[in-house]
Structure 1
Amino acid sequence: MHRYFLIPAIIIFLIIFLLVIYSQYFYVDWKWTFIPDNFDTKTETYKEKILPDICDDENTAKIIKQNREISNKRSYKDRPDISSSPTIHAVYFLPCDGEDRKFDINGNIHSSIQSINNWFLDKTKSQIISFDTTSNNLIDVTFIRVNKSIKWFTKFNTLENHNKDTSSKIEKIILSNQNLFNNFENKKFIIFFEGWEKRISITNKVCGRSRYNGKVAIFYTNGRNKKLKSCTKDNIKNSNIEVFGESEQTILHEMLHTLGVPFKCGKNINPEESLHVTDSDGDIMNKVSGSLFLDYNNDDYYKHNIPNCPDLYMSKFLIN
């Protein structure tokens, strides 16, 4: 065999081999990118998706209720505040065709947030995040279902229309329903959305979203086609034990963005990477949401001693 033929043949073989290894061990969700939403992998048949009557993708977004979801354990508006201090309020948010997994009333959101504060206290030694709680010291979670389908929410990704992508639509609904919340001006929100965000590319998967120094942080509780799993490898569905896993890393990362973290005056900030720190991939504010450090070396956003630069340590959303 001529060597000029052998060399490209070997190169092609190596490329195929590497793609197989990557798809089997590193990017195992590749197949879901090409499988339509209406394909049932169990029966290997296509099913026509019929939207519930409560869905209305044509008219104004509205908050709706279903009789089968009503529970005396569930709150459809913010419960009375036990303090007027600034807090972060949790919302369990569902599209009209989303499965109600009861994360607001089965302890999953509460346990997930508790694990975040346990981690935060371990790193700071003296502070936790101020979450909105009930009189019996449980996380106050508001249940919201809207008349819009997951297809409506995921029509655009951020690059296609950054004003009408999933996170922007969720944010707009929260901001236009201020009447549901007490002390709205002193609250920020962490949204547990039973859905996902349309991918920018095959390999790009967004598990959370927030606006820098904004009002709303979002965690996507569902992967696109694996409807019972979260965007991350672990799942708040399994978080009745307080473990600081990938889900909690994402949730905390996005909430800190709404607090203006990391600050632009930090020493290791990469503004081209959507304001993430670059000095350690173990930092919670690294683009991969690490789990080892809250401000590695304390030189960016927490107890950093940088003149004329904000410090998370002084945030009104923290409790000593």
Structure 2
Amino acid sequence: MVKFTHGINQVLVLFLCCLFFGCSAVSTDTSSSSSGTTSSDSDSTSTTSGTTTSSSDDGEYKIQAIYVVPSGSTDNAYDTDGTIIASIGILNTWFSTQTGGSTLRFATNDSGTIKVERILLNRTDAAMKASGDLRVQLEIEVAAAGFNDVKTYYIIYYDSQASDAKCEGEAILRPGIGNIGYIQLCDLDFFESNTIAESPQTSNFEYVVIHEIFHLLGGAPSCAKNYDSVDDKGHTTDNLEMMYNSSADPENWDPQFLDQNNDDYFGHSNPDCRDLADSAFLSPEPTAKDVPAGTPNDNVLLSASDKTSCDQESSLSSISGVTDNRILFTNATDSDLKLIWIDTNGTRQFQETISAKSRSQWSSFVGQYWMLADSSDNCVAIYELQAGDHMLTIN
């Protein structure tokens, strides 16, 4: 847990490591969450817009801001009233001064204005947190809402307004598979009480957003000069820079620099260590266009009611392989699903049950077929694994 203070407000930042297993091993999240009341009186997640494509419409890597409100919480419209847009502007202004002109590339609309999407959840904040891993649940909801662009990272502004809510954030620790980071807004007047989007000065909140995005980009790498090997979760021991592990000393995290002395993760001179100055998510785009492992090569969303992929089951059989590729199966439905491997003889081989609102990661070979089936063994979807890291969501 990373903690810092801002005036009389405490902001707690959690950075949880998502650990994944190697060849033929499985890391399974089998937790489930109960359904909450629905803000939109609907049985599905409500979203203003989303993308169901697997590649960027403009071909560029970018970061998409999404305002997410759980059922039972007030929609403060931070996505439409300019608050989040202003906050992003403030953080990128500070970022530019630190980098000599580079900024984080956020998704924009046709006029060039920062684009902020929204998702109104059907589940309450309590239901979302029941599994103990809010980031995983948010990633499930984001994918189910159609945000599955392989060239986009999603930064979530989660407006829970729970009375016991902590201002916290989390993002995947690379090389874990995933594409979101989140910041939880801890109270109704979070933006005002933290002077976010109301001052030209970057506040603690903007620092947290940058910190989480840098985790998505692969920071801080373990080869960093000041890497915190005791923590070993993508942090450094320099309290004056962005990726400091403030869990050890929360009162002294004072991020005056993106990377002090440029010797850890940004603009350094170590050719054998990841340099976030080469990230494909920066503008202007650097020549190297670095994208960390764990960024999905394929991010597929399939409807449980559309069983088109099942039609060819009788003609399918997996082929043998030698190189492992990772796939993260996500069950975004309200029912348990069976994970089945179609073997080299075309025979179903049951592997495990993936609980509702949970997921499971496996290693497999290119050309192998995987099936999701319902409790009665009826095929829901079949997926042929390709090279690289993959995310498959059944909604």
| TM-score, scaled relative to structure 2 | 0.55
Say if 2:173 and 2:216, in contact at 8 Å, map to a contact too.
yes
SS where residue 292 of structure 1 aligns? coil
Q: CA deviation at 1:242?
A: 4.1
1:50-129 matches, within 5 Å, as 52=37, 54=39, 62-64=44-46, 75-77=48-50, 83-129=58-104
Query: Which residue is equivalent to 1:295?
Result: 259
Say if 1:167 and 1:197, in contact at 8 Å, map to a contact too.
no
Aligned-pair identity in percent equals: 24
Matches of 1:195 and 1:295 in 2, distance apart? 32
Higher RCO (CA-CA < 8 Å; seq separation 6+): 2
Matches of 1:63 and 1:107 in 2, distance apart? 23
Higher helix share: 1
Say if 2:38 and 2:122, in contact at 8 Å, map to a contact too.
no
1:15-54 matches, within 5 Å, as 52=37, 54=39
Matches of 1:138 and 1:26 in 2, distance apart? 31
Matches of 2:38 and 2:167 in 1, distance apart? 30
1:209-251 per-residue CA deviation (whole Å, 9 max, x = no partner) reads 111234101011124xxx4336x96154xx1444310110111
SS where residue 126 of structure 2 aligns? helix
Instruction: Summarize the Cα distance change of 1:250–1:140 in structure 2 as closer, same or farther, 3 Å threshold.
Output: same
Query: Which residue is equivalent to 1:229?
Result: 190
1:208 maps to 2:173: no
Matches of 2:163 and 2:112 in 1, distance apart? 36
Query: Which residue is equivalent to 1:275?
Result: 234
SS where residue 145 of structure 1 aligns? strand
Matches of 1:278 and 1:194 in 2, distance apart? 31
SS where residue 139 of structure 2 aligns? helix
Q: CA deviation at 1:291?
A: 3.0
Instruction: Summarize the Cα distance change of 1:26–1:145 in structure 2 as closer, same or farther, 3 Å threshold.
Output: closer
Higher strand share: 2
1:187 pairs, out of 129, 152, 156, with: 152
Q: CA deviation at 1:176?
A: 3.3
Instruction: Summarize the Cα distance change of 1:137–1:27 in structure 2 as closer, same or farther, 3 Å threshold.
Output: closer
SS where residue 205 of structure 2 aligns? helix
1:158-177 matches, within 5 Å, as 165-177=133-145
Matches of 2:74 and 2:161 in 1, distance apart? 13
Which one-letter code corresponds to 1:229 in the other structure? F
Instruction: Summarize the Cα distance change of 1:197–1:305 in structure 2 as closer, same or farther, 3 Å threshold.
Output: farther
Q: CA deviation at 1:156?
A: 4.6
2:211 pairs, out of 244, 249, 253, with: 253
| TM-score, scaled relative to structure 1 | 0.67
Matches of 2:99 and 2:244 in 1, distance apart? 18
Say if 1:91 and 1:191, in contact at 8 Å, map to a contact too.
yes
Say if 2:45 and 2:122, in contact at 8 Å, map to a contact too.
yes
Say if 2:40 and 2:46, in contact at 8 Å, map to a contact too.
no
Query: Which residue is equivalent to 1:317?
Result: 281
Aligned Cα root-mean-square deviation (Å)? 3.2
Instruction: Summarize the Cα distance change of 1:94–1:271 in structure 2 as closer, same or farther, 3 Å threshold.
Output: farther
1:262 pairs, out of 220, 229, 233, with: 220
Q: CA deviation at 1:126?
A: 2.5
Say if 2:52 and 2:147, in contact at 8 Å, map to a contact too.
no
SS where residue 277 of structure 1 aligns? coil
Say if 1:154 and 1:196, in contact at 8 Å, map to a contact too.
no
1:130-172 per-residue CA deviation (whole Å, 9 max, x = no partner) reads 1100111111111101110111122254xxxxxxx22211012
Matches of 2:113 and 2:9 in 1, distance apart? 37
Say if 2:62 and 2:152, in contact at 8 Å, map to a contact too.
yes
Matches of 1:116 and 1:85 in 2, distance apart? 21
Instruction: Summarize the Cα distance change of 1:55–1:101 in structure 2 as closer, same or farther, 3 Å threshold.
Output: closer
Query: Which residue is equivalent to 1:7?
Result: none
Q: CA deviation at 1:26?
A: 8.9
Matches of 1:26 and 1:132 in 2, distance apart? 32
Which one-letter code corresponds to 1:77 in the other structure? G
Say if 2:38 and 2:123, in contact at 8 Å, map to a contact too.
no
